[in-house]
Amino acid sequence: MPIELAEFGTIITFLGCMCATVQVSTGFYAGYVLEKPALLTTDKILNRSHRAFGGFATTLYLLGLFNGVNTLVSALRIGDPPLELSSISFNVHTWISIPIVGIFAWKTWLSYFDKAKLYRKRKWLGPAMFTVWAFTWITAAISYYVRTLPANPQHSPPSFLLPARLMGVQIVLPFVIGGLIGVIVLKKFKKSQPRGSGEEGPDKGKAADK
């Protein structure tokens, strides 16, 4: 079954948002619920999940960014796809996405090269990055779907995504699926903790000694 580049790019954003939802689930639980962000490096289950889904999300964001920049350059140079400056969906998704790339770059740099600072002073960047993903996915999905409608048939109807009449369901799916995966990971983490540990992992003993 053939797939258009526009739908393929939208699927990349869908998967990235799903992975970001899993990552923010484990990060928020460790950093804000337990107030033990170090668990994301010291606990095997949380560490593997957070790193794996974070790595997937980063890769997918870069793929989507490459596709988006290439599409924008093509629109500016040859008008294919058309540069729809009068379209709200085009303007919101395109122009707001440019400055928020800075949040992605900042979060990614700290994640790979200065994780200690990220956990101590910049842990708000985790939820901020999830907000970036949510914005990117929602605006990308809307922008894609409105261009499959008879009023603006730039793209063929989706082959793998849900049809346009179910756009709302499609938009919430990555959050639902990612949230369910996050719940499974956190349940596995809780089961791995010794009874009476208070789910605080290896840092509990240190905290009790202070």
pLDDT in tens, the chain (210 residues): 678 889 999 999 999 999 999 999 999 999 899 989 889 989 999 999 999 999 999 999 999 999 999 989 998 998 788 888 889 998 999 999 999 999 999 888 888 888 777 777 667 888 899 999 999 999 999 999 999 998 888 889 999 999 999 999 999 999 999 999 999 999 999 999 887 655 554 444 343 334
Query: Which letter, b or e, does each residue of 100-131 get, where b requires 16 or more Cβ atoms within 10 Å of its Cβ?
Result: beeebeebbebbeeeeeebbeeebebbebbbe
How many domains, the chain?
1
Say how far apart CA 160 and CA 152 lie, in whole Å.
20
Two tokens at 196? 């009476």
How big is the CA angle at 180 (ends 179 and 185), to the nearest 5 degrees?
A: 95
Domain that holds residue 64: 5-209
- The pTM is what? 0.86
Q: Cα–Cα distances in Å, from 81 out to 23, 33, 195?
A: 34, 45, 59
